[in-house]
């Protein structure tokens, strides 16, 4: 008969180890992010002509409605 308690404990320990590996990786990545130099930001102004939607309208074919009789 399988030793269910031992099987459970083995899976539990492996799960705990996996969680600890993920936590360590997250902490390392957070430290890399925090210690990275700040990017240089540049403020630009837009002229009145430069603002707004620059997308060109699309010419979709028009659907004609049928006259109801």
For residue 42, being part of any structural domain is answered with no
For residue 66, what pLDDT is reported?
Answer: 74
Kind and range of the H or E element at 2? none
The yes-or-no verdict on residue 53 having pLDDT over 70 is no
55 occurs within a structural domain: no
Is 56 part of any domain? no
Domain that residue 31 falls in: 1-35
| Residues in the chain, overall count | 69
Whether residue 26 has pLDDT greater than 70: yes
Domain assignment present for 23 = yes
- The 3-state secondary structure of 38-68, one letter per residue: CCCCCCCCCCCCCCCCCCCCCCCCCCCCCCC
In a domain, 46, yes or no: no
Residue 12 lies in a domain: yes
Q: How many domains does the chain have?
A: 1
Residue 43 has pLDDT above 70, yes or no: yes
CA distance 26 to 24: 5
Query: Quick check: is 18 in a domain?
Result: yes
* pTM, entire model: 0.52
Task: Taking residues 33-37, report their average pLDDT.
Answer: 95
Instruction: Compute the mean pLDDT over every residue in the chain, rounded to the nearest whole number.
Output: 86
CA-based angle 65:58:55, to the nearest 5?
145
In this prediction, residues 30-57 reach a mean pLDDT of 80
Residue 64: per-residue pLDDT: 75
Q: Is residue 1 part of a domain?
A: yes
């Amino acid at each position: 008969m399988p030793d269910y308690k031992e099987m459970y404990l083995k899976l539990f320990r492996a799960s705990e180890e996996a969680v600890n590996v993920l936590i360590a990786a997250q902490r390392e990545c957070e430290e890399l992010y925090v210690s990275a130099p700040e990017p240089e930001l540049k403020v630009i102004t837009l002229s009145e002509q430069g603002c707004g939607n620059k997308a060109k309208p699309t010419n979709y074919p028009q659907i004609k409605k049928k006259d109801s009789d």
